[in-house]
Chains A and B, each alone.
Chain A
């Protein structure tokens, strides 16, 4: 399967702990996105990379959140000092885009984070 892969699928942690999620995009895709989805809502944009450059961050992404995409390949999303409100599904998506067009985004199955 050459789709978007996310690890872990589930993460349970205590409030105040740090967590890190990994996303492996489709190999030929140059764009990578992180979204957050809570129950009954659509995904909300968090941040976006084109190759290794982080080009946009949502206001939802507080200073406790950091994302990286070293060498323009896989990406990690870290949440420091987790809070109850961080409980959600964290989705990663990738696509191929140019200055003239955007291709549809392909999503992974997400990491479900539960804060105790």
Chain B
């Protein structure tokens, strides 16, 4: 079965620094890899999607990389702000017509002033 590991349960960084979150997966190679943000008591909110043939994707202060050889994705938030504090979830999509997502446990990011 698919196994997704996110590097740590919690990451604490100072405002202005770059946060780097890691997602490693085993077994099947996903066609897509997605990152979501989740705030307490709320549903996940989609942030970025990267395809298996893409190395890097950017959106404003966010950057995602995808290394299918290492079976790893890195998610970066540059110039982090306290408002970035949330749980970040990595999700794999195997690209079949089913479209179900396999989620990691998430990394809780805290950005302190």
Q: Count CB-based A-B contacts (< 8 Å).
A: 63
Interface residues on A, range: 20 to 34
Query: Do residues B100 and A45 form an inter-chain contact, with CB atoms below 8 A?
Result: yes
CA distance A110 to B40 in the complex (A): 11
Query: Do residues B43 and A102 form an inter-chain contact, with CB atoms below 8 A?
Result: no
Q: Does A31 contact B (CB under 8 A)?
A: yes
Query: Do residues A97 and B99 form an inter-chain contact, with CB atoms below 8 A?
Result: yes
User: Which of these, A4, A50, A99, A105, contacts B101 with CB under 8 Å?
Assistant: A105
User: Of the 9-residue stretches B11-19, B60-68, B76-84, B90-98, which lies at the interface with chain A?
Assistant: B90-98
Instruction: Classify the secondary structure of A's interface with B.
Output: strand
Contacts of A91 in B (CB 8 A): 43-44
Interface residues on B, range: 20 to 34
Contacts of B49 in A (CB 8 A): 104
Contacts of B89 in A (CB 8 A): 42-43
Tell me whether A43 and B44 are in contact in the complex, defined as CB-CB below 8 angstroms, given that A48-B99, A95-B99, A102-B93 are known contacts.
yes
Query: Do residues A4 and B43 form an inter-chain contact, with CB atoms below 8 A?
Result: yes
Query: Do residues A48 and B100 form an inter-chain contact, with CB atoms below 8 A?
Result: yes
Contacts of B73 in A (CB 8 A): none
Provide a sorted-by-A list of 20 A–B residue pairs whose CB atoms are within 8 angstroms: A40-B105, A42-B89, A42-B91, A42-B103, A42-B104, A42-B105, A43-B44, A43-B101, A45-B100, A45-B101, A48-B99, A91-B43, A91-B44, A95-B99, A102-B32, A102-B93, A102-B99, A104-B34, A109-B42, A112-B41
